[in-house]
Each structure stands twice: as structure tokens, then as C-alpha cells.
């Protein structure tokens, strides 16, 4: 096998991995407005911004004051992470998990297509129903489908076991902003206070959600 050679250096750029990492977080702290967030959630916010490249994301973040301790306690006790999308699950860094926690996405379960047809909903929403035996004390993450977040909230309102924390950052133009408002207003509407983090508006996605999970899994940056 031919040994690869480095191409001729033609651009001026930083190529030291640790330096890029450190300088990125320093830039975020310098440019983002973080004062309105819970003090214990600063590193969470910084990682979410790092995952999107958008410092103004901080203005849309809504972080329950109990989110960070609730999620960290659950993960240190071995709780699973339940994800609505494979890309979210794939973005979780295994080395950061405190107890080798299971990271599960049930979208590929054979039961999902039939449930989606029967209920007239998306596969993402149907897959969330399969979380029920695992929900109690889990950390759940919705980073793709607004229907999945709505479905989860409806399950919880109907009496499903309560997760320890919800990372609710679905992305999109139809239902994303509305599902996040429903998450933020769940305690007022249903009387059940579940710690959560969300990014209001249309922004969201797998990278943002996985970044949040990685921050919750381990405090160190």
C-alpha cells in the first residue's frame, strides 16, 4: 500500500486539534450571551453552540434549572439514553458515558411501520411508544422529529413512566417550534415538572442534540 503524503501547504490555518478545541470554546464564551442561563448549564450551552457553530443559539436556549443535575445523576446511576434518530445516537461519544450507558434508537424496530400505519402518524412518533418500558429514570433525546416530541409528551400526560430529563431539540418548519413550546409549558399544563433543555424556534437537529447529551454525560470539556 502506498504511503500517503501530505499535500503542499497552501493556506494559513490552525491544524493542532487540542488548540482548535480550546480556542473554539474560548471564542464561544467571548461571543455568546450566556448570563440568562442557569449557572450549572454554561458548559451545556457552550457545547450545544459548538455543535452548531451559531453563537446566537444561546438566545433561544431554554434550560430547566434542574436539568443538568437530574441528567448527570441519572447517567451516573446507569440510566439509558433513548434517542429518536440514529444520527442522534451515533453522535454520543461513548468514552464520555459514565457507566457505559446504553444509547438506544428504536426507529428500526420491526413493529414501528405497523404502529405508524395503525395510528396514522410518523414512524418517529410510533417508535417513541416502544420507549415506555425503558422510560422511567431515562434520559430521552429528540433531535429530529417534532412528532416524536409531541408523542412523548402525550404519553407522559397519559401517565407513562417519567424520564429523568428530556433533551428536546427537534428541527424543522412544521411543528418544531410548537413542540418545543409544548415541552417548556408541560409542567404548567399538566402539573408534572420534568427537567428539560430545548432551543426555541425552528433550529435543532442531531448535532445539537448529541452535543447536549455529550455535555450532560461528562462535565469536563
Please name the helix (run of DSSP H) or strand (run of DSSP E) that holds residue 82, with its range, or none.
Answer: strand 81-83
Q: Is residue 102 one of the residues assigned to a domain?
A: yes
Residue 11 lies in a domain: no
Whether residue 109 is predicted with pLDDT greater than 80 in this model: the reply is yes
Q: Which of 36, 50, 190, 200 is catalytic?
A: 50
* Chain centroid to CA 111: 25
Please tell me the distance from the alpha carbon of residue 137 to that of residue 158, in angstroms, as a whole number.
17
pLDDT for 220:
82
On whether the CB atoms of residues 196 and 77 are closer than 8 A, the answer is: no
Stretch 52-76: mean pLDDT, rounded? 97
Total structural domains within the chain: 1
What share of the chain has pLDDT > 90, as a percent? 96
Tens of pLDDT, residue by residue over 11-61, are: 999 999 999 989 999 999 999 999 999 999 999 999 999 999 999 999 999
Is 36 an active-site residue? no
CB atoms under 10 Å from CB of 77, counted, come to: 12
In the block, residue with C-alpha cell 464561544: 28
Q: Is 10 part of a structural domain of the chain?
A: no
Give the integer Cα–Cα distance in Å for 94 and 161: 26
CA angle 115, 203, 186 (to 5 degrees): 60
What is the average per-residue pLDDT within 177-200? 98
What pLDDT sits at residue 219?
86
Residue 36 included in any domain: yes
- More confidently predicted of 214 and 2: 214
Is residue 63, in this structure, part of any structural domain at all? yes
Burial of residue 51 (CB within 10 Å: 0-12, 13-18, 19+) is buried
In a domain, 5, yes or no: no
How far apart, in whole angstroms, are the C-alpha atoms of residue 76 and residue 50? 24
Q: What is the mean pLDDT of residues 78-98?
A: 97
User: What pLDDT is recorded for position 112?
Assistant: 98
103 phi and psi, to 5 degrees?
A: -120, 110
Identify the CATH number of the domain in which residue 187 sits.
3.40.50.10230
Which residues share a beta bridge with 162?
none
The Cα 103–Cα 154 span in angstroms is 23
pLDDT of residue 1: 79
pLDDT of residue 148: 98
Residue 121, domain member (yes or no): yes
d(CA 129, CA 65): 27
**Contact criterion met (CB below 8 Å) for 89 and 146:** no
Question: Does residue 92 contact residue 81 with C-beta atoms inside 8 Å?
Answer: yes
According to the model, what pLDDT value does residue 221 have?
75
Q: Tell me if 160 is assigned to some domain.
A: yes
pLDDT of residue 131: 98
pLDDT tens digit string along 120-172? 999 999 999 999 999 999 999 999 999 999 999 999 999 999 999 999 999 99
Structural domain harbouring 61:
17-217
Question: What pLDDT does residue 97 have?
Answer: 98
Amino acid at each position: 500500500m502506498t504511503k500517503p503524503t501530505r499535500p503542499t501547504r497552501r493556506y494559513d490555518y490552525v491544524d493542532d486539534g487540542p488548540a482548535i478545541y480550546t480556542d473554539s470554546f474560548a471564542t464561544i464564551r467571548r461571543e455568546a450571551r450566556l448570563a440568562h442561563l442557569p449557572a450549572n448549564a454554561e458548559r451545556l450551552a457552550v457545547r450545544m453552540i459548538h455543535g452548531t457553530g451559531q453563537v446566537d443559539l444561546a438566545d433561544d436556549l431554554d434550560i430547566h434549572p434542574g436539568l443538568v443535575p437530574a441528567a448527570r445523576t441519572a447517567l451516573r446511576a446507569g440510566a439509558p439514553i433513548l434517542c429518536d434518530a440514529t444520527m442522534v445516537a451515533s453522535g454520543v461519544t461513548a468514552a464520555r458515558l459514565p457507566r457505559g450507558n446504553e444509547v438506544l434508537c428504536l426507529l428500526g424496530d420491526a413493529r414501528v411501520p405497523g404502529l405508524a400505519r395503525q395510528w396514522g402518524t410518523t414512524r418517529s412518533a410510533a417508535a417513541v411508544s416502544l420507549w415506555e418500558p425503558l422510560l422511567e429514570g431515562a434520559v430521552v433525546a429528540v433531535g429530529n422529529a417534532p412528532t416524536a416530541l409531541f408523542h412523548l409528551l402525550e404519553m407522559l400526560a397519559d401517565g407513562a413512566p417519567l424520564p429523568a430529563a428530556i433533551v428536546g431539540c427537534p428541527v424543522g418548519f412544521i411543528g418544531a417550534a410548537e413542540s418545543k413550546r409544548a415541552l417548556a409549558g408541560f409542567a404548567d399544563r399538566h402539573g408534572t415538572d420534568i427537567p428539560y433543555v430545548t432551543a426555541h424556534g425552528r433550529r435543532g437537529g442531531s448535532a445539537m442534540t448529541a452535543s447536549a447529551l455529550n455535555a450532560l454525560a461528562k462535565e469536563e470539556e
